[in-house]
Chains A and B, each alone.
Chain A
Amino acid sequence: MTLENSDYIIEAEGLQVFYGASHVLHGVDFSVKRGETVSLMGRNGMGKTTTLRSMLGFVPPKEGRVKLFGCDVTGARPFNVIKRHLAYVPEGRGMFHNLSVREHLEMPARPAMDGTWRWNFDRVMDTFPRLSERLNHMGSQLSGGEQQMLAIGRALMTNPELLILDEATEGLAPLIREEIWRIINIIKNDGISTIIVDKNIGPILDMADRNVILVKGNIVFEGSSDDLRANPDILARNIGV
């Protein structure tokens, strides 16, 4: 199977992850198809970020397998996983205090899997007009919302097949949060597969094709947004909303 032909971008099977003696993931199965937007929900400490970090190689699973475009990448180092057309926007944004906005965007730029540049500097500027006014500012001189936009813009400059957003709207003002959701919608409409980890259930349900709920390292629900809306007790029981 060639990379281009696989239906699944990423597949994780039976992930068992430990932090020391603490058993964090208990056989998690998780996958994302091409063009699919999947939400990963759960209360704090349930294993959402660990699932992402484990799939990306930051925390190697003790058991289980991770496949990327059908190829086994279990145990591969993070940069070897991510450079295969994934983009990860981690919690906390991760600005480089000594790089300007322009340099943040130029540094990771690379073409898509098919060699095209669907996302380039000009398109990112059009999508994030606020950043175009701050091109010479350093990463640390931006507001929280601008930093988050830059983090997403930086990820898009890698022309990814799969964008992973971990708590992209955390700690942002409501208006800025709306702006971030608008941008995520543009990304979805552009056909980029997305994994969204967030605590704002409303926008997630509007956006996601499939939702996965984690409780104590186990998947307790997997289904559509309509299923969740029809069964609000699932959200109440597992997320507390």
Chain B
Amino acid sequence: MYNTPRPISLLLGFLLCVLAFYPLYGDLVFGSKASFFMSKLTTIVIFAILAMSLDLLVGITGLVSMGHALFFGLAGYVLALASPEYEAASIWYILPLVLLCCAALGAVVAFLTIKTSGIYFIMVTLAFGQMGFYFFNDAEFSGGSDGMYIMLKPDVSLGGIQLLNLDEKQTLYYLSLACMVFVYMVLRMILRSAFGQVLIGIHANEHRVKAIGYNTANYKIVSFVIAATLAGLAGFLAASQYGFVNPSQMGWHTSGYALMMVIMGGAGTIFGPAIGAFVFEILHYVFESFTDHWLMLMGAVMICVVLFLPNGIGGALLSLVQKKETTGEKNDG
């Protein structure tokens, strides 16, 4: 059952309000650093989209992918390669093109990997991710390991009137925030649908879902394609923010970070991985200010999460709310 309890919905609503009001009042708290933190928050929001898209695979369908960043990076390369050299690409064609490419590659990877499961699925997706990494790392047309610059950010105009200027940090921030809410709503809608229930069933007991008469392979492929497309959306926003794309964005490190965000936030909760992205990136920022070896500290945090919050932050919040509800019902009784 994937209904978000009311207290958690209220908490998420409150956090969203804080994020929405940050550009207006952030300088009152952070002063001259407010602009820097807005860029940081934009990056975090984009990673939240990536983590939620991965949760559809890991937490909902039960497919642990170690190559999810392939689609994140591919989106950036498609944006860079398909943009005209001396003018901004119109978002009305470039965004659908980016998403279509990610969906198409997602379908190919899914078709070739979906028959595998468990450790083999992890290994095969990792291999695809690394194939993508080395392809762009060694290719001259994509700038090799230096990557490519996106000189002009996509143009959001309609009938000659500019609707959004993505060069403005605040605009990109709000666009990313809107996309994060959109992705969350899409995933919740999927979970509530009959299609989503089959995916949840596959995660719990694929054999039984087959015994009900469903072709589980097809469902897993569609799930993979949706996840790849949403990761492509995150990649598009990231490339638009950074103004460049390089192979490391599709390497196994990025896939690993996304997986850590999912685990930290709580796989299968959808909102949890978004929270996980915030916690992961904030800790990253804090640890990095102490030491270059921030991953060591992050590793310690991950061990603590696995030991003390095995269902992640989202899972712990859900348990807390359910426990309170049960206690309330008992007291009423």
A positions within 8 Å CB-CB of B: 56, 58, 77-80, 82-83, 86-88, 90, 94-100, 103, 106-110, 136, 138-139, 154, 158
Does B253 count as interface, using CB distance less than 8 angstroms?
no
Given A78-B210, A79-B214, A94-B211, residue A107 in contact with residue B198 (CB < 8 A): yes
A88 to chain B: which residues have CB within 8 Å? 211
User: Which B residues have a C-beta under 8 Å from some C-beta of A?
Assistant: 1, 194, 197-198, 200-201, 203-205, 207-208, 210-216, 268
Asked if A80 contacts B215 (CB within 8 A), the reply is: yes
Decide yes or no: A82 and B211 within 8 Å by CB, A97-B204, A98-B204, A99-B204 being known contacts: yes
Beta-carbon contact of A99 and B211 below 8 Å: no
In the complex, chain B residues whose CB is within 8 Å of the CB of A107 = 194, 197-198, 201, 212
Collect the chain B residues with CB atoms within 8 Å of residue A100's CB. Answer: 1
Residue of B nearest to A107 (CB): B197
CB distance from B208 to the nearest CB of A (A): 4
**Would B212 and A108 count as touching, CB distance under 8 A?**
yes
Alpha-carbon distance A98/B211, docked complex (angstroms): 17
Docked CA distance A88–B211 (Å): 6
User: Taking A96-B200, A98-B203, A99-B204 as contacts, is the C-beta distance between A158 and B212 under 8 angstroms?
Assistant: yes
Q: How far is the CA of A237 from the CA of B289 in the complex (A)?
A: 80
Give the residues in chain B near A79, CB-CB below 8 Å: 210, 213-216
Q: Report the nearest A residue to B218, measured CB to CB.
A: A79
Residues from chain B with a CB closer than 8 A to the CB of A103 are: 1, 197, 200
Contact between A82 and B213 (Cβ–Cβ < 8 Å)?
yes
A99-B201 contact in complex given A106-B194, A107-B194, A136-B1, C-beta closer than 8 Å: yes
A96, B215: Cβ atoms closer than 8 Å: no
For the complex of A and B, 10 pairs with smallest distance between CB atoms: A83-B213, A94-B208, A82-B213, A100-B1, A96-B204, A107-B197, A108-B212, A79-B215, A96-B201, A79-B210
CB distance from A139 to the nearest CB of B (A): 8
The distance from the CB of A142 to the nearest CB of chain B, in whole angstroms, is: 13
* Extra contacts besides A79-B210, A108-B214 (8): CB < 8 Å: A79-B215, A80-B215, A90-B211, A94-B207, A95-B204, A98-B268, A103-B1, A158-B212
A78 touches B194 (CB 8 A): no
Chain A contacts of B198 at CB under 8 A?
Answer: 107
Closest CB of chain A to B60's CB: distance in Å?
9
Which residues on the B side are within 8 Å of A99 (C-beta)? 1, 197, 200-201, 204
Are A138 and B212 touching (Cβ within 8 A)?
Answer: no
Q: How far is the CA of A82 from the CA of B211 in the complex (A)?
A: 7
Q: How long is the Cα–Cα vector from A96 to B212 in the complex, in angstroms?
A: 12
Contacts of A108 in B (CB 8 A): 212-214
The smallest beta-carbon distance between B85 and chain A, in angstroms, is: 50
Shortest B274–chain A CB gap in Å is: 20
Query: Do residues A82 and B1 form an inter-chain contact, with CB atoms below 8 A?
Result: no
In the complex, the answer to whether B212 meets A82 with C-beta atoms within 8 Å is yes
Cross-chain contact of A96 among B205, B214, B268 (Cβ < 8 A): B205
A107–B191 alpha-carbon span in the complex (Å): 11
Whole-angstrom CA separation of A80 from B207 in the bound complex: 14
A139 to B205, CA, bound (A): 12
A229 to chain B, nearest CB (A): 34
With A103-B197, A107-B201 as contacts: A154 and B211 at CB distance below 8 Å: no
**Centre residue among B1, B201, B213, B214 by max chain A CB count within 10 A:** B213
Most chain B CB within 10 A, of A58, A79, A158, is at A79
Chain A residue contacts of B210, Cβ below 8 A: 77-79, 82
Could you tell me if B212 and A154 are in contact, using CB atoms closer than 8 angstroms?
A: yes
B213 touching A158, Cβ below 8 Å:
yes
What is the distance, in angstroms, from A100's C-beta to the closest C-beta of chain B?
Answer: 4
Complexed CA–CA distance, A79 and B206 (Å): 11
Give the shortest distance, in Å, between B192 (CB) and chain A (any CB). Answer: 9
In the complex, A121 Cα to B203 Cα: how many Å? 24
CB distance from B277 to the nearest CB of A (A): 23
Asked whether A94 lies within 8 Å of B205 as measured between CB atoms, the reply is yes
Q: Is the CB of A98 within 8 A of B200?
A: yes
Bound complex: CA A136 to CA B197 (Å): 15
Q: Which residue of B lies closest to A136 (CB)?
A: B1
Some 25 contacts from A to B, beta carbons below 8 A apart, are A78-B211, A79-B216, A80-B215, A83-B214, A90-B208, A94-B207, A95-B204, A95-B205, A96-B200, A96-B208, A97-B204, A98-B200, A98-B204, A98-B268, A99-B200, A99-B201, A100-B1, A103-B200, A107-B194, A107-B197, A107-B212, A108-B214, A109-B194, A110-B213, A136-B1
Kindly name the residue among A82, A90, A94, A98 whose own CB sees the greatest number of chain B CB atoms within 10 A: A98
> For residue B195, which residue of chain A has the nearest CB?
A107
Chain B residues whose C-beta falls within 8 Å of the C-beta of A80 in the assembled complex? 215
The residues of A that contact B1 with a CB separation of less than 8 Å are 98-100, 103, 136, 138
Q: Shortest distance in angstroms between B211's beta carbon and chain A's nearest beta carbon?
A: 5
Q: CB-CB < 8 A to A82: which residues of B? A: 210-213
- B197: which of A77, A90, A97, A106 is its contact (CB, 8 Å)? A106
Chain B contacts of A154 at CB under 8 A?
212
- Determine the chain A residues whose CB is within 8 A of the CB of B268 once the complex forms: 98
